[in-house]
Structure 1
Amino acid sequence: MPSNVLPPAMETAELIWRDGVPESTKFGDVYFSRDDGLAETRYVFIERNHLPERFHSLGAYGHFVIAETGFGTGLNFLATWSEWLKQRPSEGDHAILHFISVERYPLSRADLRKALESWPELAPMAQELILHYPPLINGTHRLVLAGGRVRLTLYLGDVLDAWDDLEFQADAWFLDGFAPSLNPDMWLETAIGMVRTHSKPGTTLATFTSVGRVRRALAAEGFAMAKVAGFGRKREMLIGKLPVTENAPPQAHSPQSVAIIGAGIAGATLARNLAERGVPVILVDEAPEPGSGASGNAQGALYAKLGVDYNDQTELAATALAFSQRFYQRWETEFWHPTGLLQLASTEQEQDRQRRFLSRNRYPDDVLSQVTAGEASELAGIPIHREALWFPQSGWLQPAMACNTLIDHPAISAMFDFRVASIRRERGQWVLHGPNNQQITAATLIIAAGHRTASIAPRAQGTELRLKPIRGQVTQLRSESTQLPQVVICGTKYLNPPYNGYAITGATFDLHDNTPFPTLESHRENLEQLAQLLPSVNISGPADASELQGRVAFRCTTHDYQPAAGACPAKDEDCANGAYLLTGFGSKGLTWAPLMAEYLADRICGHPPCLNRRLSRRVDAERLYRKPLTDR
């Protein structure tokens, strides 16, 4: 990476265009054939991997995994997506195509659009890919396309890092971009060894090249290799297959039924994710309606505070923010309001932090950019007296409406006013006992109950969960008595744009206060800190804070302030066999929920996970379990 490109930004591909075909100035190679790139892709990768018949014969709830060594213009991916829909045209089909690809020098969105204009027959898919194209920052990006029937995992970085970091077993390989003349023997042997690691009996591969040392290296890893006729003027190419053994493990199937305890944003997002994969879900909550706890505020900001250093924690937050922005797009006319968001540094400490952040990082402008006080004022529509960070793709949601909308799916059955009294494992099923002798039975159990998770989650005797509730009170401001912004503003407090005559500000962070109702003290704290952050708001509402309206909720936070999504530890029979946690989102639940739900649904269904190994370890639920200090 050039010295002038700071992390996490990626160095984009530098192209020259000849007759509508892009060429890499760095490698001196075209991205697709000048004769007919789409026909070449179909011949080399789709037909030589026998994908049409393999796609067609896959079960209704199966999944197929393709791995590719270079994403380029995305042509191979779009051609495969097109073939997938051709072989599986039914909207009611729940099989999923997972396409995993790596790109060290990604195309800009503008170059991607220009490159794909050459293929009008792929236009609908190309438009959807461009709409969801991730910000060009280092790491793993999951794109959910075609209503969830196609999932692209795009790793931006080095191919060896990708294969070392990602978890998957490929059914087929597209070995694209394998240029032996540009790579030393050691690189080639390492890369091919990793291809074998991510393969299983029956995995096939195809590659443009017919170079002998590539064929020999693949054969040494156990692939049965053959040369076949190449496409067009290319005389030969290579194909291969790992022999099938009698003891090959069967493909994992989705669970028969899932019970989710908790109908806040975490439970609702996971329920929707699983339902769209064809998994029947029973959603349980003790409240009379969804989004009654920490997800019940009238407004909530979609926001992440990114770390000064781009470490695993920052990567996870940035990935979650970008994924959530893509996830909520389809509900823009309902509960999602992408107004943009300004992050202000209102204290000397925060100003110093922001300076260090900007000196050590470079994010693409579609993630964030620094703006002057004048630019911030223009964006906000009210005077701003300091520089800020501008997040153009962020905004705010109506959380309770989001929960209601997300669970509106025929595969989701909701049971409210159901307080779980006990959870037992009986004859291979989870049984939830509730009021009036009611019972709910399911093969898989997820606890997404917010601050109640610790009291009801299954765990081995003598252990406790490192979770804590943190009280948060918000205050409602009237539009006619305040000067409100047209974007979300975050700092020591956050302030949303007005909606239906009101805007929400807050929230307090009361670690040792269990008061369940709004207090005058908390209202005053919200208003005083907001006035310091934004003097131009000109709060001229009720002189007596007792006239203000507000709401109290209890966030659920982990000991390390990172989310938890994963299986309960299998150290005790009561904790094993299909019990999971989805919790610890703190005040960033709207940001964490979509990515954590995608990740946990991947795990539950046995699909390639959307998080790499480093980030998977960071959210592992087992870290929350420990014995009390008195027992250690």
Structure 2
Amino acid sequence: MITDSRLPSIETAGIEWHEGAPYSRRFSDVYFSRDNGLEETRHVFVSHNQLTERFPEVPAAGSFVIAETGFGTGLNFLAAWQAWDQSASSADACLHFVSAERYPLSQDDLARALSMWPELSDYANQLLEQYPEPIHGAHRLIFDGGRVRLTLFFGDVLDAWRELDFRADAWFLDGFSPARNPDMWTEAAIDAIRGHSKPGTTLATFTSVGEVRRLLTKLGFTMHKVPGFGSKRDMLAGALAAPAAHATPAAANDIESIAIIGAGVAGSLLARNLAQRGLHVTVIDQAEEAGTAASGNLQGALYVKLGVEFNDQARLGLSSLLFSQRYYQQFGGDCWHPSGLVQLAHSDSEQERQARFIERNDYPAGVLRRVSPEEASELAGVPLQRGGLWFPGSGWLEPGRLCQSLMEHPRIRRCFGFDVHRLTPCNGKWHIAGNGEQDVVVDRVIICAGHQTPGLIPLHGGFRFRAIRGQVTHVPAASLKCPNVVVCGSGYLNPAHNGIALAGATFDLHDHSPALSTNSHRDNLSMLDSMIPGALQVPESEPDDFEGKVGFRCTTHDYQPVAGPLMDAHGHALEGIDLFTGLGSKGLSYAPLLAEYIADRISGQPQCLPRSLAKRVATHRCHRPEIVQPETISA
């Protein structure tokens, strides 16, 4: 249970430097051996888990999972990554590293500690580039095109093992010694290690304390005392009883074919994610190219609106935003523009809400901070009458270009111009019927069809999905004082690109027309003028003079997205079919993390969403409650 009053921030480690090496003030202990920390890691964890022998056995599209108690400086992770990189493992296999850390190092301390190992500098620099802000909860980091994944949980180790869904092939039992950090070595913590282990899972630890050995033996691990490193005489190594000396990691599973219906942001991100894991994917869309419907806007802002209370809804929004900011870095200079974003306190009520938000939450400045009207104006480069919240890691994307770029992978087959009419299960396969086309037959199908999703779900009964029209207006840059950053209020305005700045989008509850509307343009221009007074340089321009685009958002009854196995009203999952929809107006923020989550589930790898947030996006919550008719009373 998270009880830290500084949520969502988490307290960082208090570090002293003794002879250039990091030393924990809290635990009065060193982070690694002063003799040679890297060689200690290789001796204790890499060698006694037989990693160099086991890595080449991981099949294509398979994974090897290492779990660790105590991330510390990340030295163990980098040593395992280097060993994985130097092994003969399949180019399509994934090393997945899961680690918990109650007191994470600051970015500066981490950089200083890892500078001691020049041979790891290439790996260390990549870790430092993505190292998350000190925020409670799970953080997913992806390296080397998906060949290495790190799930880093900032918080109590018992919270980590309770919330995270994974099973390890090997354990690094690190952390400070049991005498100095007893909470890491409790019976409950060691029992949780057993629950996250496979038959044949190995483990190693620098400690040789008898109580630790007895607890592990009691839980079924065969333990041995072996020579330690340097001045440490003994350490422990062992394995969970299994028919073989250790279990050979399995491939993702027996899925031979996967189809994704919908080539918008959600479908394109998921297709690329699965393809990078070694799986072959067919993407089906009625359009002739990816990213043409709601994902086809010229520009899209990357933002979420975080709640005043730091509940599961806020946690999901924050996790999605931070992951998407990291994910889109690879598209910088192309379709990702990290300009930063100002979320204006655009009304008195919003100003009061933001004040309560700042009072009740503690966010690192690297995530967001409050800014005055003067600072907001300076950041935006245009006069703003109100302040707000500054998100330095956000910005805007070109969604259509993003989707088309994601489709470029040899394992992605594009089946465009295919209008799906029906999904039918038959003999363990899904048959996807179109408009006179030959059926596409696959083992698994994921529906990512936005507002068209309800018509494709092969279940009786209704779902609480709703299509909401949104129109954006293309404002010529020459007629506008364009901001340098994204400005959000009751709508949003992006920086100009190719002579156009995009403003919008309307939220039309009762208009279902796909045609451009003069009234919608007028609403967007009115929003723009109220948010940035005087920005429009030609106020007498008629709305008919502007171009734009209409799209339909798919929202749910609780405005939270849907991702995961399709379940019936009783919570039973249908075999081989998933939903990925309901992203509303925040699809660019939600989609990368949720695509990662669905791909984790399909590939059988550790899941990026904690269990509490996985429940938040489960499909069965969106079934429309049955209306029970009252019994007829006969005379």
TM-score category, normalised to shorter length: over 0.9
Which residue number in structure 1 is paired with residue 196 of structure 2?
198
How far off its partner does 1:548 sit?
A: 1.5
Which residue number in structure 2 is paired with residue 287 of structure 1?
287
How far off its partner does 1:186 sit?
A: 10
Which residue number in structure 1 is paired with residue 88 of structure 2?
88
Match runs of 1:263-302 below 5 Å: 263-302=263-302
Q: Distance in 1 between matches of 2:4 and 2:169?
A: 39
Which residue number in structure 1 is paired with residue 211 of structure 2?
213
CA deviations 1:570-589 (Å, max 9, x no partner) are 68999722100000000001
> Does structure 1 retain, via aligned residues, the 8 Å contact 2:64–2:249?
no
Q: Which amino acid aligns with 2:621?
A: R
Which residue number in structure 1 is paired with residue 31 of structure 2?
31
Q: Which amino acid aligns with 1:15?
A: I
CA deviations 1:375-409 (Å, max 9, x no partner) are 11111111112222110110000011111001111
> Does structure 2 retain, via aligned residues, the 8 Å contact 1:332–1:338?
yes
> Does structure 2 retain, via aligned residues, the 8 Å contact 1:7–1:138?
yes
How far off its partner does 1:430 sit?
A: 1.1
> Does structure 2 retain, via aligned residues, the 8 Å contact 1:303–1:394?
yes
> Does structure 2 retain, via aligned residues, the 8 Å contact 1:467–1:557?
yes
Q: Distance in 1 between matches of 2:23 and 2:421?
A: 64
Q: Which amino acid aligns with 1:519?
A: S
How far off its partner does 1:182 sit?
A: 3.4
> Does structure 2 retain, via aligned residues, the 8 Å contact 1:478–1:541?
no
How far off its partner does 1:482 sit?
A: 1.1
How far off its partner does 1:245 sit?
A: 3.9
Which residue number in structure 2 is paired with residue 307 of structure 1?
307
Which residue number in structure 1 is paired with residue 46 of structure 2?
46
Identity, % of aligned positions? 53
Q: Distance in 2 between matches of 1:421 and 1:3?
A: 50
Secondary structure of the 2:436 match is: helix
Which residue number in structure 2 is paired with residue 324 of structure 1?
324
Which residue number in structure 1 is paired with residue 455 of structure 2?
455
**Closer, same or farther: CA 418–575 of 1 in aligned 2, 3 Å:** farther
> Does structure 2 retain, via aligned residues, the 8 Å contact 1:266–1:597?
yes
Match runs of 1:119-518 below 5 Å: 119-183=117-181, 188-245=186-243, 251=250, 253-254=252-253, 255-459=255-459, 461=460, 463-518=461-516
Q: Distance in 2 between matches of 1:272 and 1:540?
A: 43
Which residue number in structure 1 is paired with residue 100 of structure 2?
102
Which residue number in structure 1 is paired with residue 562 of structure 2?
564
CA deviations 1:406-437 (Å, max 9, x no partner) are 11111111111110111111222111111223
Q: Which amino acid aligns with 1:302?
A: L
Which residue number in structure 1 is paired with residue 627 of structure 2?
629
Q: Distance in 2 between matches of 1:37 and 1:622?
A: 49
Q: Unaligned stretches of 5+ in structure 1?
A: none
> Does structure 1 retain, via aligned residues, the 8 Å contact 2:60–2:278?
no
Q: Which amino acid aligns with 2:297?
A: N
How far off its partner does 1:123 sit?
A: 0.8
Q: Which amino acid aligns with 1:548?
A: F
Which residue number in structure 1 is paired with residue 57 of structure 2?
57
Q: Distance in 1 between matches of 2:304 and 2:416?
A: 31
How far off its partner does 1:61 sit?
A: 2.2
Q: Distance in 2 between matches of 1:219 and 1:533?
A: 65
584, 609, 612: which one aligns with 2:610: 612
Q: Distance in 2 between matches of 1:185 and 1:544?
A: 68
How far off its partner does 1:84 sit?
A: 0.6
Q: Which amino acid aligns with 1:422?
A: R
Q: Distance in 2 between matches of 1:334 and 1:253?
A: 32
Q: Distance in 1 between matches of 2:357 and 2:184?
A: 37
**Closer, same or farther: CA 310–152 of 1 in aligned 2, 3 Å:** same
Q: Which amino acid aligns with 2:365?
A: D
**Closer, same or farther: CA 573–151 of 1 in aligned 2, 3 Å:** closer
Which residue number in structure 1 is paired with residue 583 of structure 2?
585
Secondary structure of the 2:96 match is: strand
Secondary structure of the 1:61 match is: coil
Q: Distance in 2 between matches of 1:3 and 1:239?
A: 34
How far off its partner does 1:185 sit?
A: 8.2
How far off its partner does 1:188 sit?
A: 0.8
Q: Which amino acid aligns with 2:529?
A: A
**Closer, same or farther: CA 627–248 of 1 in aligned 2, 3 Å:** farther
Q: Distance in 1 between matches of 2:525 and 2:569?
A: 48
> Does structure 2 retain, via aligned residues, the 8 Å contact 1:5–1:11?
no
TM-score by length of 2: 0.95
> Does structure 2 retain, via aligned residues, the 8 Å contact 1:447–1:453?
yes
Q: Which amino acid aligns with 1:97?
A: L
> Does structure 2 retain, via aligned residues, the 8 Å contact 1:384–1:534?
yes
**Closer, same or farther: CA 262–435 of 1 in aligned 2, 3 Å:** same
Count of aligned residue pairs for this structure pair: 628
> Does structure 1 retain, via aligned residues, the 8 Å contact 2:104–2:154?
yes
> Does structure 2 retain, via aligned residues, the 8 Å contact 1:495–1:503?
yes
How far off its partner does 1:621 sit?
A: 1.4
Secondary structure of the 2:608 match is: coil
CA deviations 1:335-356 (Å, max 9, x no partner) are 0000000000111110110000
> Does structure 2 retain, via aligned residues, the 8 Å contact 1:482–1:541?
no
**Closer, same or farther: CA 625–184 of 1 in aligned 2, 3 Å:** same
Q: Which amino acid aligns with 1:304?
A: V
**Closer, same or farther: CA 622–387 of 1 in aligned 2, 3 Å:** same
> Does structure 2 retain, via aligned residues, the 8 Å contact 1:384–1:536?
no
Secondary structure of the 2:401 match is: helix
> Does structure 1 retain, via aligned residues, the 8 Å contact 2:58–2:250?
no
Q: Which amino acid aligns with 2:170?
A: A
Higher mean Cα deviation, 52-61 or 590-599?
A: 52-61
Q: Distance in 2 between matches of 1:249 and 1:393?
A: 41
**Closer, same or farther: CA 95–571 of 1 in aligned 2, 3 Å:** farther
Q: Distance in 2 between matches of 1:15 and 1:250?
A: 38
Which residue number in structure 2 is paired with residue 78 of structure 1?
78
Higher mean Cα deviation, 81-90 or 351-360?
A: 81-90
How far off its partner does 1:6 sit?
A: 2.0
CA deviations 1:244-292 (Å, max 9, x no partner) are 0489898363421110000000000000000111111100111122111
Q: Distance in 2 between matches of 1:244 and 1:542?
A: 78
Matched, 1:12 2:15: no
Q: Distance in 1 between matches of 2:564 and 2:510?
A: 28
Q: Which amino acid aligns with 1:482?
A: L
How far off its partner does 1:484 sit?
A: 1.0
Q: Distance in 2 between matches of 1:573 and 1:277?
A: 29
Q: Which amino acid aligns with 1:359?
A: E
TM-score by length of 1: 0.96
Q: Distance in 2 between matches of 1:51 and 1:406?
A: 33
> Does structure 1 retain, via aligned residues, the 8 Å contact 2:140–2:323?
yes
Q: Distance in 2 between matches of 1:414 and 1:77?
A: 37
CA deviations 1:205-225 (Å, max 9, x no partner) are 111111111111111111111
Q: Distance in 2 between matches of 1:81 and 1:248?
A: 20
Secondary structure of the 1:192 match is: helix
> Does structure 1 retain, via aligned residues, the 8 Å contact 2:57–2:248?
no
How far off its partner does 1:15 sit?
A: 0.9
Match runs of 1:524-603 below 5 Å: 524-540=522-538, 543-569=541-567, 576-603=574-601
